[in-house]
Chains A and B, each alone.
Chain A
């Protein structure tokens, strides 16, 4: 059975590399994963091995063990569709006992680039943390336990989520998680650089490892140290705990496999939502009635239900986090004045999310055209979008301002920062509206990619236009800079009144131009965003 499972998985891997549609992409993907896997395996192994004899070796082992188990539990959600053996339903029709299915899945999970790379990386612990044959044996055993935890936890997650992952909601979750992972990697980079440059890196690692050591992978990782120190009771105690956790996970896995086989998939059991009106009840008092409310309500609903919109929102929301992380790393101290620009940056990024709104709606904008887009209606359409964006954008900017003030201690800059941000928000809405009607472009419905904002070959052009509009907004905001600088010197009253007013009035003026264009060229805009469907 074990051999059969291994051969099946190898056959699947080979089959994936055969010529056929998309084979080049798969081959490149495989080559990349082999290269990346080898690099990470080597990096992990050499890091742990190089720390041999140093106090950090134990902490690094704990961190790596925990990190890998966490990664293994998330990865299948991102790559669910790429491995045929991962989906429990694929084996449901075969006459196999549940035990055989478990073995098949387990062995299948052990064959591949990722498990081999994981094994190699954590094997560094055998070199790094052992001082005798006995402790080396314990370390080797811990390595095996670690791999088992990775595999079993990952498969348990897949089985538990397999119904969800085959549904539209699961795919949405995958799209959102992929994007957020990519974004968080951008964040981790400066953090890690900062930590590694810090003189107290070892202390920080030690305190983190102290917490992680209480988790099951941490318990396994601390076994070699206990063996080295001659604390054999601790070794046994940790071993018992880890084995118990593994047993529990196996039980959960088996249970979820049974449910995955027995319960029909999600396409036949449709998700229900509670009774809901177009405009969320919380905001219903703030949203006007009629057409403005229709567009605003729709936009608000989309913000939480369309993974791409959600990712866009989160991207701009974590801008302050980036600032908080990066500014001390770059300047060695908190940059208080920079906080004003950070809040404005959030406003700019968020405000421009309304750009290409008809492209983002794809051809669904026909509803608006069919209901009539005379000038008053065209105004309502664009204003409705701005109302929704304001209802989300203002609290976003406000909370960003509060957080950054608290972190940087620049409370006296909060008012100028917020005033400038509202100014930028108003101007960005105008810029977004202009791009929407004068340079609309189709947005492909990429099933797995939350970042696809421009169609094939149009990505570059779309990006350039976006930058151009961004530059336009910054230019339009420039006249407010002297006021801002005065305010930073301690007289914010002028700015409080003038800057937001300037931004909102100018932004509204630009929106009026855009409304005229939408009213006159609606069908042509619809045709442009429908291209390359």
Chain B
């Protein structure tokens, strides 16, 4: 019954609802009860220091890593109870996972479209448009293994967009990307949210998060320590200051390193 119910979900104001996610690796509790509510059409930033559990949370939210406890609803569909329906609505750009890099950019898009049993004509058409938008037409016949980091991020984002999902989960989409590629990615994402799509992305670049996001959640030690609209969180300060305070980054004593720069 549950699956049938979730197939026709009630229209929720949230595109993504995460409740009580927990994941333990051996003795390490990577995620300790994460709750997130992402409004429809939002640009939602997930920030946190290295090892805070951002990637683990995103992996569980996208059906790539099974949570020990907790639920994830995308458009009201439970990702782990009805993965087939949920995954149709999700586009993923994971971090730290490999891709089929011995395919060319064009072949990788064709592969992704066929995986989702999309009609050939649609795949061809969208592939052409995506390659054009991301400035990859000239590189479409090169193997992805020969791509630069920026090109890899762009082709990965193109793969995530190909099946026209409603929600994008992007893990560090701007990491090691040059300013030109970053601008392209930002423009595409802005257009996506402008038309009602929802973006959840993790990043270390506070300035970018501050500029792009409507809402943000700060994860530290596997828990959400603050969440809400960016302006509410900032309260007149820079997001970076807020983040560093929340993450406990100012740990050294006032008198430490006094000798530095005194020569």
Interface size on A, residues (CB 8 A): 41
Judging by beta carbons under 8 Å apart, are B145 and A367 in contact? no
For A273, the closest partner residue in chain B by CB is B141
B69 / chain A contacts, CB cutoff of 8 Å: none
B149 close to A (CB within 8 Å): no
User: Binary interface profile of A, 293-306, with partner B (CB < 8 Å = 1, else 0)?
Assistant: 11101100110011
Selected from B87, B102, B115, B141, the residue in CB contact (under 8 A) with A272 is B141
For A305, the closest partner residue in chain B by CB is B102
Judging by beta carbons under 8 Å apart, are B87 and A371 in contact? yes
Question: B43 CB to closest chain A CB, in angstroms?
Answer: 21
Residues of A265-309 at the interface with B, using a CB-CB cut-off of 8 Å, are: 270-278, 289-291, 293-295, 297-298, 301-302, 305-306
B66 close to A (CB within 8 Å): yes
Judging by beta carbons under 8 Å apart, are B102 and A306 in contact? yes
* Interface residues of A, dominant DSSP: helix
Judging by beta carbons under 8 Å apart, are B111 and A367 in contact? yes
Q: Which listed segment binds B: A90-98, A181-189, A357-365, A416-424?
A: A357-365
A275 / chain B contacts, CB cutoff of 8 Å: 106, 141
Judging by beta carbons under 8 Å apart, are A278 and B97 in contact? no
Question: A142 CB to closest chain B CB, in angstroms?
Answer: 46
B183 / chain A contacts, CB cutoff of 8 Å: none
Residues of A461-498 at the interface with B, using a CB-CB cut-off of 8 Å, are: none
Judging by beta carbons under 8 Å apart, are A289 and B100 in contact? no
CA distance A288 to B98 in the complex (A): 26
Selected from A273, A373, A374, the residue in CB contact (under 8 A) with B104 is A273
B203 close to A (CB within 8 Å): no
For B91, the closest partner residue in chain A by CB is A370
Judging by beta carbons under 8 Å apart, are B142 and A289 in contact? no
For A372, the closest partner residue in chain B by CB is B87
A305 / chain B contacts, CB cutoff of 8 Å: 102, 143
B107 close to A (CB within 8 Å): yes
A371 / chain B contacts, CB cutoff of 8 Å: 87, 112, 115-116
Of listed B63, B97, B112, residue having the most chain A CB within 10 A: B97
User: Binary interface profile of B, 90-118, with partner A (CB < 8 Å = 1, else 0)?
Assistant: 10101011111111101100111011110
Known contacts A363-B97, A372-B83; A273/B103 CB under 8 A: no
CA distance A399 to B90 in the complex (A): 46
CA distance A306 to B100 in the complex (A): 11
Judging by beta carbons under 8 Å apart, are B145 and A168 in contact? yes
Give 20 A-B contacts (CB < 8 Å), ordered by A residue.
A270-B139, A271-B143, A273-B142, A276-B141, A278-B103, A289-B114, A290-B114, A295-B115, A297-B111, A298-B100, A298-B103, A301-B102, A302-B100, A306-B102, A364-B97, A364-B98, A367-B112, A372-B83, A524-B66, A530-B97
B99 / chain A contacts, CB cutoff of 8 Å: 364, 367
A363 / chain B contacts, CB cutoff of 8 Å: 96-98
B146 close to A (CB within 8 Å): yes
Question: B67 CB to closest chain A CB, in angstroms?
Answer: 10
Judging by beta carbons under 8 Å apart, are A291 and B142 in contact? no
Judging by beta carbons under 8 Å apart, are A291 and B115 in contact? yes
Judging by beta carbons under 8 Å apart, are A523 and B64 in contact? yes
Interface size of B as a range: 35 or more
Top 7 nearest A-B pairs (CB, nearest first) are A294-B114, A363-B97, A371-B115, A305-B102, A372-B87, A278-B110, A273-B141
Known contacts A271-B142, A273-B142, A293-B114; A372/B84 CB under 8 A: yes
CA distance A371 to B111 in the complex (A): 11
A271 / chain B contacts, CB cutoff of 8 Å: 142-143, 146
User: Binary interface profile of A, 90-124, with partner B (CB < 8 Å = 1, else 0)?
Assistant: 00000000000000000000000000000000000
CA distance A274 to B142 in the complex (A): 9
A533 close to B (CB within 8 Å): yes
B88 close to A (CB within 8 Å): yes
Judging by beta carbons under 8 Å apart, are B64 and A526 in contact? yes
Residues of B58-92 at the interface with A, using a CB-CB cut-off of 8 Å, are: 62-66, 83-84, 87-88, 90, 92
CA distance A298 to B102 in the complex (A): 9
Question: B39 CB to closest chain A CB, in angstroms?
Answer: 24
CA distance A370 to B74 in the complex (A): 14
Judging by beta carbons under 8 Å apart, are B110 and A374 in contact? no
Judging by beta carbons under 8 Å apart, are A298 and B111 in contact? yes
B258 / chain A contacts, CB cutoff of 8 Å: none
CA distance A367 to B87 in the complex (A): 11
B111 / chain A contacts, CB cutoff of 8 Å: 278, 294, 297-298, 367
B120 close to A (CB within 8 Å): yes
A369 close to B (CB within 8 Å): yes
Given contacts A298-B100, A374-B84, A523-B65, 9 further A-B contacts (CB under 8 A): A272-B142, A275-B141, A277-B110, A294-B111, A301-B102, A305-B102, A367-B100, A370-B90, A371-B115
A319 close to B (CB within 8 Å): no
Residues of A510-529 at the interface with B, using a CB-CB cut-off of 8 Å, are: 523-524, 526-527
A302 / chain B contacts, CB cutoff of 8 Å: 100, 102
Residues of A342-374 at the interface with B, using a CB-CB cut-off of 8 Å, are: 361-364, 366-374
Judging by beta carbons under 8 Å apart, are B97 and A374 in contact? no
A369 / chain B contacts, CB cutoff of 8 Å: 63-64
Judging by beta carbons under 8 Å apart, are A361 and B100 in contact? yes
A361 / chain B contacts, CB cutoff of 8 Å: 98, 100
Selected from A272, A276, A306, A366, the residue in CB contact (under 8 A) with B97 is A366
CA distance A427 to B147 in the complex (A): 39
